[in-house]
């Protein structure tokens, strides 16, 4: 009985650890083009912290080309 409890406890802890490592984020940015408000949306990106940081850096780099762009990211 003790072995079964130990197995289930280890399985729960392992699933919690790996589930917390993967997050998803969706980014977009808004800018003005010829006096009109425009926006560009990016597809959802899922991964660990480093992958999401790289994704946000790419969006920020793309937005820096459009003067006055505002970047918005939502995490899920």
Q: Structure tokens of 24?
A: 């998803």
Residue 34, token pair as written in the block: 């010829």
Q: How many CB atoms lie within 10 A of CB 37?
A: 8
Residues 6+ apart with CB under 8 A from 49: 23
Q: What is the pTM of this model?
A: 0.68
Per-residue pLDDT of the chain (76 residues; tens, 9 = 90+): 666 656 555 555 555 555 556 899 999 999 998 889 999 999 999 999 999 999 999 999 999 988 789 999 999 8
Tell me if 45 sits within 8 A of 76, measured CB to CB: no
């Amino acid at each position: 009985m003790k072995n079964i409890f130990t197995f289930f406890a280890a399985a729960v802890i392992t699933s919690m650890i790996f589930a917390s490592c993967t997050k998803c984020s969706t980014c977009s940015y808004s800018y003005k083009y010829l006096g009109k408000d425009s926006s560009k949306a990016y597809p959802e990106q899922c991964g660990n912290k480093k992958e999401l940081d790289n994704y946000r850096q790419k969006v920020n780099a793309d937005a820096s080309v459009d003067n006055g762009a505002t970047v918005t990211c939502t995490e899920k």
